[in-house]
Chain A
């Protein structure tokens, strides 16, 4: 499984990089799969309501009403029908990719099991919705779907008489089932929507709308497809005929040939086994997770920055429990915390300038504390030497920094770039631990912990608390959002920064009065 995950991850990494040639980071389709899923869902909903107006809900009349849409009404209802079909297929495609990606990035274990489990439920519901939709056309494909589905259900011992008998011959056909399918085709997508709402309960500010440029591209391309290759029916259903050769929608009906090829025991066991495995993999094996973030009340002033920055809704502000006159206190829900450390990066008390005994931020990761990060930075700073010393703060998810460690390059690893309080950059440069700082994280817009990279960029730009102080010379600070394939890019950036630093010479802090502060003097207040 580890191998599978790694190879899939390599595929996604290369895919993202390839698409980045054409798409700006915000628009990269592989970084917007969930949002594209929602976008297609809305197209399906709107076009579905439109075509429902034209659908005759009697089993013997349905086919003609669908033909009318595609024939006479090709420019409106027909187009909507095509959009309905193709957006549903697009939904399956992006949903499967999204699932594979979350799997490849290992974002389905530990406390993230919830997104996975609700995702599986949505996947099942979407599939059932699609299958019931093909039923409603009552063409030869619908007949095929009806027969194979009911024959498959008949393997279960629940039904008194085989439900496939409904489709034995034209005489036995009755409309009960058809009515049930219409009901299901409306109800199941609505349940799926409830499932999606649940799906997003454990992430803050979920990205459910794709950026405009991507939405326009995806929407227009489906519209073009609908115009040049409209969805059509495959001839009226006729139970006196075998629907021998059918054009399957492989997105929804890909498993149907298997249902026919193998016995009921085999297909039902395989389906159940697959479901159990899919449901259980978040615990196969259980994740060796780091301990969740912990609040140190003595150092928390209730500023709520950590709550605003946590990407997983793991922090709430609650009434003060120690009687101190602050507005509230941060409380971590350990069942939601993924131990990314972004909260520690946002806390105003996480400043490395404090003396060692004091370096206990209001919120911190027990297994990768701010104090430990400072200790690493101090040690690396003492080790490196040369005319242009560089300190690399690298996120373990991008995972490329460690390889760059050298005589003049120190490397400190972070759980996420967002874990780094900006004051560390100030600290490293003003304390002359290094001449410049490089922060290496996941691809832009592709942060493993959703917002780490974005908050870091915003903090450095002075757009989000805590700011990087203005006195830090920006020429000495570089961020690189290149992800796991960024090894070569990182080495290039290091070389470029080294050249620049050599030109800049050693850092001379300016005093508030404009004169250079003598070496050794403390520049921090």
Chain B
């Protein structure tokens, strides 16, 4: 085979290799969300209240403890689970009882959930219970969100900032 043709073949090969590299470096596009939808992401870390209320020790109990451990208030470390409810336009889309983290059950409960909803205006209700009560919630929020297509609405929870945060 004449060597001009062989060089042409080499050029062809290199061009093909480069074209393949250039192509798959960013194509085909990967589409993760249906057209015209938005995402709600619920994520928080929150520690429920203690399983047992703190208790003031009696003078008699205190005297039994070694002198360096005499703290007048005794608190258990274990925490209650956190109950969470999320409703969109009145319909519940997420309900869970989140166990406290940590081996001793003394850590924060974690939530990280994503929901795809049609874009548009939605009434979002979020409720959270972190106490011993068996009914009702300790925190409730209602939020009317106008979600643009592709928008990501984050719902966080921070007790020290008054409860749910929509952003």
Cα–Cα distance between A416 and B132 once the two chains are bound (Å): 78
Q: Mark A253-266, 1 if CB is under 8 A from B, else 0.
A: 00011001000000
Cα–Cα distance between A218 and B10 once the two chains are bound (Å): 10
Cα–Cα distance between A243 and B29 once the two chains are bound (Å): 12
Q: Is the CB of B31 within 8 A of A245?
A: yes
Cα–Cα distance between A244 and B15 once the two chains are bound (Å): 32
Question: B141 in the interface, Cβ–Cβ < 8 Å?
Answer: no
Q: Mostly helix, strand, loop or mixed at chain A's interface?
A: helix
Q: Is the CB of B167 within 8 A of A249?
A: no
Q: Which residues of B contact A251 (CB under 8 A)?
A: 21, 24-25
A232, chain B: closest CB distance, angstroms: 8
Q: Mark A190-225, 1 if CB is under 8 A from B, else 0.
A: 000000000000000000000001000110111011
Q: Which residues of A contact B154 (CB under 8 A)?
A: 168-169, 172, 239
Partner of B12, one of A22, A168, A239: A22
A166, chain B: closest CB distance, angstroms: 10
Given A217-B11, A221-B14; A246-B29 close (CB under 8 Å):
yes
Cα–Cα distance between A169 and B39 once the two chains are bound (Å): 12
Question: B1 in the interface, Cβ–Cβ < 8 Å?
Answer: yes
Given A154-B112, A165-B45; A250-B21 close (CB under 8 Å):
no
Most chain A C-beta atoms within 10 Å of own C-beta, residue among B14, B17, B25, B26: B25
Q: Which residues of B contact A249 (CB under 8 A)?
A: 24-26
Cα–Cα distance between A247 and B31 once the two chains are bound (Å): 9
Q: Is the CB of A240 within 8 A of B18?
A: no
Q: Mark B1-45, 1 if CB is under 8 A from A, else 0.
A: 100001111111111011111101111011111000011010101
Q: Is the CB of A217 within 8 A of B10?
A: yes
Q: Is the CB of A242 within 8 A of B25?
A: no
Q: Is the CB of B110 within 8 A of A161?
A: yes
Cα–Cα distance between A244 and B150 once the two chains are bound (Å): 7
Cα–Cα distance between A168 and B158 once the two chains are bound (Å): 14
Given A21-B1, A245-B29; A90-B21 close (CB under 8 Å):
yes
Residues B35-64 near A (CB distance < 8 A): 38-39, 41, 43, 45
Partner of A162, one of B21, B25, B32, B43: B43
Q: Is the CB of B45 within 8 A of A161?
A: yes
A231, chain B: closest CB distance, angstroms: 7
Q: Is the CB of A244 within 8 A of B31?
A: yes
- Chain A interface residue number, banded: 35 or more
Q: Is the CB of B25 within 8 A of A89?
A: yes
Residues A45-94 near B (CB distance < 8 A): 85-86, 89-90, 93
Cα–Cα distance between A89 and B31 once the two chains are bound (Å): 22
Question: A357 in the interface, Cβ–Cβ < 8 Å?
Answer: no
Q: Which residues of A contact B19 (CB under 8 A)?
A: 225
Q: Is the CB of A242 within 8 A of B18?
A: no
Question: A436 in the interface, Cβ–Cβ < 8 Å?
Answer: no
Question: A421 in the interface, Cβ–Cβ < 8 Å?
Answer: no
Cα–Cα distance between A164 and B113 once the two chains are bound (Å): 11
Question: B76 in the interface, Cβ–Cβ < 8 Å?
Answer: no
Question: A160 in the interface, Cβ–Cβ < 8 Å?
Answer: yes
B135, chain A: closest CB distance, angstroms: 29
Most chain A C-beta atoms within 10 Å of own C-beta, residue among B12, B17, B20, B112: B17
Instruction: Please name the residue on chain B nearest to A261 by beta carbon.
Output: B32
B159, chain A: closest CB distance, angstroms: 15
B116, chain A: closest CB distance, angstroms: 9
Question: B151 in the interface, Cβ–Cβ < 8 Å?
Answer: yes
Given A21-B1, A165-B43; A93-B150 close (CB under 8 Å):
no
Most chain A C-beta atoms within 10 Å of own C-beta, residue among B15, B21, B38, B112: B21
Instruction: Please name the residue on chain A nearest to B31 by beta carbon.
Output: A245
Q: Which residues of A contact B39 (CB under 8 A)?
A: 242
Partner of B6, one of A21, A154, A247, A248: A21
Q: Is the CB of B21 within 8 A of A93?
A: yes
Instruction: Please name the residue on chain B nearest to A218 by beta carbon.
Output: B14
Partner of A242, one of B8, B12, B151: B151
Cα–Cα distance between A240 and B150 once the two chains are bound (Å): 9
Cα–Cα distance between A432 and B7 once the two chains are bound (Å): 45
B69, chain A: closest CB distance, angstroms: 28
Cα–Cα distance between A90 and B30 once the two chains are bound (Å): 21
Q: Which residues of A contact B21 (CB under 8 A)?
A: 86, 89-90, 93, 222, 225, 251
With A160-B107, A168-B154, A256-B30 known, 20 other A-B pairs at CB within 8 A are A19-B13, A22-B12, A29-B13, A89-B25, A93-B17, A93-B21, A161-B108, A162-B45, A168-B156, A221-B14, A222-B21, A225-B19, A225-B21, A242-B32, A242-B152, A244-B31, A246-B32, A247-B26, A248-B30, A251-B21
Which B residues have a C-beta under 8 Å from some C-beta of A? 1, 6-15, 17-22, 24-27, 29-33, 38-39, 41, 43, 45, 101, 107-108, 110, 112, 150-152, 154, 156, 167
27 example contacts (A-B, Cβ-Cβ < 8 A) are as follows A19-B13, A21-B9, A22-B8, A27-B10, A29-B17, A90-B21, A144-B32, A151-B112, A160-B101, A161-B110, A168-B41, A217-B10, A217-B13, A218-B14, A221-B14, A224-B15, A239-B152, A239-B154, A242-B152, A244-B32, A245-B29, A245-B33, A246-B30, A248-B26, A250-B25, A257-B30, A257-B32
